[in-house]
Amino acid sequence: MTASVASPPTSLPTEVTVGTGPLSPAEVVAVARQDAPVTLAEEARAAVAASRRVIEQLADDPQPHYGISTGFGALATTHIPAERRAQLQRSLVRSHAAGSGPEVEREVVRATMLLRLSTLATGRTGVQVRTAEAYAALLNAGITPVVREYGSLGCSGDLAPLAHCALAVMGEGQVRDTGGELVEAAEALAAAGIEPVELAEKEGLALINGTDGMLGMLLLALHDLEGLLATADVAAAMSVEGQLGTDDVFAADLHRLRPHPGQAVSAQNLRALMAGSPIRESHRTEECTRVQDAYSLRCSPQVHGAARDTVAHAAQVAARELAAAVDNPVVTPDGRVESNGNFHGAPVAYVLDFLAIVAADVAGISERRTDRFLDVARNHGLPPFLADDPGVDSGLMIAQYTQAAVVSELKRLAVPASVDSIPSSAMQEDHVSMGWSAARKLRRAVDGLTRVLAVEVLAAARALELRTPLQPSPATGAVVRLLRGAGVPGPGPDRQLSPEVETAVELVAGGRVRAAAEEVTGPLG
């Protein structure tokens, strides 16, 4: 029987209006993960219509205008006759829908489409109103274009991923319907009563020139990391307590001496989580000869705090990108149509890489705390590997191997993608961001961090119970009860561990470990 705990602390909006200002991160997550309905604001419709009139005035201009009367990229000097300019836009989308590999996750595709719609709604791209409406219609109908893993260099926009989305709006290519079935786009649109869009001048370019894929994945990762860093503090508190460590080093005055805001928050969380612990009080005596704990215990606020500050920096970058209108060429507020380089993904790519470093390091210190539980020379009186009958039983020995394997993978994923660049388009696009690649590896890193923290929680809970008759703090005890209520048994003879690990992963990922502790402490920072 599953224990009843509070819902994850972050509430998400139930509907989203696009075009009244920058979207919030919570709105993007709500549409991507919870299918919140989308409405295009009336003021956005007016702005879109106004910029469309600018493009239409240029359509018959004998002077070349990039993306309107010329080819693209290295073909920008090729003049396109007026009668073939609609075909130009269709050909652009079809040729750029060249992705390969496994399908990208539904939530990523939905975030990508919403963010492209947000840019269209600024009135800076020159699309038709009905094109913007079509994006909202597909999102509301639960129609998800099939987007492939590979195809974006993170410059000139997330070209192939966005082209696959645009292809579906045209009624071409394959999509997943609301039930997840793979169908032809034309069939899915017809079933939903959505008219395919006939692209006009400039529109194909406007639909694929954006950082929307990498930005969407950044926003989803930030949402997850916010919860995981609080959970990392819960896990650390359980480990410090279970290893008879001290909470004295988390005192507020000590952390004011090094005034990093994230560090102060983490230390405050650890004090709240360990408050009222009989285990801690049991060794607060003169007989305790330990002068100071190992770094993985003592320095948890410094590492978790630095991670928080990095997440805050990445959130600032994301907020700026949410306020952007990324297209090339762009329709300026005074009616000019100008080429630019705002599609370059460097600002987003850098923080995506930075967050992968954060995930690797927070996981690394978590694994080190876990390993201390298993070593009889360092675990202060607990059985080797927390086993029931050491020798016959191996306890949690291999659970730590699992952690170690994930941490090793996270170190590889922490190698930055954004330092690489492969020239493309006949050297016209000679420096690219690789932001999409940075985003893809960050998603794997966030999943890995979740798994590492879950194993630490599992090990710490067993250790806390092995300290019986001493009891853990009310907050950490609530997490132990959550695990037991979710079907994870306490200490005992060896059994298959994988199901218990996966249950713990679900509890961490769903925010329930954090929520169980917060039932006692109140909201954690």
Hey, where are the domains in the chain?
16-210, 217-324+359-521
What residues pair up with 184 in beta bridges, in sequence order? 174
Tens of each residue's pLDDT in the chain, 525 residues: 233 333 344 589 999 999 999 999 999 999 999 999 999 999 999 999 999 999 888 877 667 766 676 666 656 666 667 667 778 889 999 999 999 999 999 999 999 999 999 999 999 999 999 999 999 999 999 999 999 999 999 888 899 999 999 999 999 999 999 999 999 999 999 999 999 999 998 999 999 999 999 999 999 999 999 999 999 999 999 999 999 999 999 999 999 999 999 999 999 999 999 999 999 988 887 666 676 899 999 999 999 999 999 999 999 999 999 999 999 889 999 989 888 988 999 999 999 999 999 999 999 999 999 999 999 999 989 999 999 999 999 999 999 999 999 999 999 999 999 998 888 877 777 788 889 999 999 999 999 999 999 999 999 999 999 999 999 999 999 999 999 999 999 999 999 999 999 999 999 999 999 999 999 999 999
What residues pair up with 144 in beta bridges, in sequence order? 176
Q: Which of the 8 DSSP states describes residue 249?
A: G
CA 158 to chain centre: 17
Catalytic residue among 66, 135, 150, 350: 66
At 173 the three-state DSSP class reads coil
Same fold for the pair 16-210 and 217-324+359-521: no
User: Which CATH architecture does the domain made up of 217-324+359-521 adopt?
Assistant: Up-down Bundle (1.20)
326 close to 342: Cβ distance less than 8 angstroms: yes
Tokens at residue 366, please? 């978590």
The DSSP element (H or E) to which 91 belongs, if any, is: helix 85-96
pLDDT given at position 428: 74
Q: 71 — phi, psi (to 5°)?
A: -75, -170
Alpha-carbon distance of 170 to 197, in angstroms, equals 5
At 108 the three-state DSSP class reads helix
pLDDT given at position 156: 80
pLDDT given at position 1: 25
Please tell me the CATH code under which domain 16-210 is placed. Answer: 1.10.275.10
E strands, 258-377, in order? 330-331, 337-338
CA dihedral 466, 470, 476, 480 (to 10 degrees): 40
350 is catalytic: no
In which order are the strands placed within the sheet that holds 144-145?
A: 144-145, 174-176, 182-184
What residues pair up with 390 in beta bridges, in sequence order? 393
CA 60 to chain centre: 44
> What is the pTM (predicted TM-score) of this model?
0.94
Of the candidates 297, 285, 301, the residue with the CA atom closest to the CA atom of residue 245: 297
Alpha-carbon distance of 82 to 398, in angstroms, equals 67
211 close to 321: Cβ distance less than 8 angstroms: yes
Q: 96 — phi, psi (to 5°)?
A: -85, -15
pLDDT given at position 5: 30
